[in-house]
């Protein structure tokens, strides 16, 4: 099922970086708004992952764990190419909670 552009409120925008001064500067810049519902979803998923990890490792010392390698949360993203009134390109972004739960076991 295709996502229609107007089904969702905008979550963010990415514009061509018109202040680019060198090859290492980003080609685009913009923002991503995380809604309360999305943030609640991310927090809930993180808590579920922590509980699952603690069940599998009851003697875990959280001070010694590299959490950047343990927890991955994904959101669906879609984008539509647009043009500004000054004819520069930009992307209209929408980030949303995945419709189907991820079946991958992160542990």
In a domain, 47, yes or no: yes
Distance CA 74, CA 42 (A): 9
In a domain, 81, yes or no: yes
In a domain, 21, yes or no: no
Query: What is the residue range of 79's domain?
Result: 11-16+33-54+73-99
Which one is predicted more confidently, 8 or 99?
A: 99
Task: Check residue 21 and give its pLDDT.
Answer: 92
Backbone angles phi, psi at 32, to 5 degrees: -135, 120
DSSP character string of 68-95: GGT-----EEEEEEEE-TTS-EEEEEEE
- DSSP run (H or E) holding 55: helix 36-56
Here the tokens at position 29 are 């810049």
Distance CA 34, CA 59 (A): 34
Model pLDDT for residues 89-105, shown as the tens digit of each residue: 888 888 776 666 555 54
In a domain, 24, yes or no: no
Whole-prediction pTM value? 0.53
In a domain, 38, yes or no: yes
In the chain, how many domains are there?
1
Model pLDDT for residues 35-55, shown as the tens digit of each residue: 788 788 888 888 888 888 889
Per-residue pLDDT for 20 more than 70? yes
In a domain, 105, yes or no: no
């Amino acid at each position: 099922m295709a996502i229609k552009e107007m089904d969702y409120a905008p979550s963010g925008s990415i514009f061509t970086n018109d202040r680019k001064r060198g090859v290492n500067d980003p080609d685009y810049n913009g923002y991503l708004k995380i809604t309360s519902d999305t943030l609640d979803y991310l927090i809930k998923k993180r808590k579920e992952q922590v509980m699952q990890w603690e069940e599998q490792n009851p003697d875990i010392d959280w001070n010694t764990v590299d959490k950047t390698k343990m927890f991955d949360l994904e959101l669906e993203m879609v984008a539509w190419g647009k043009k500004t009134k000054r004819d520069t390109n930009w992307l209209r972004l929408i980030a949303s909670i995945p419709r189907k739960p991820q079946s991958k076991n992160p542990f």
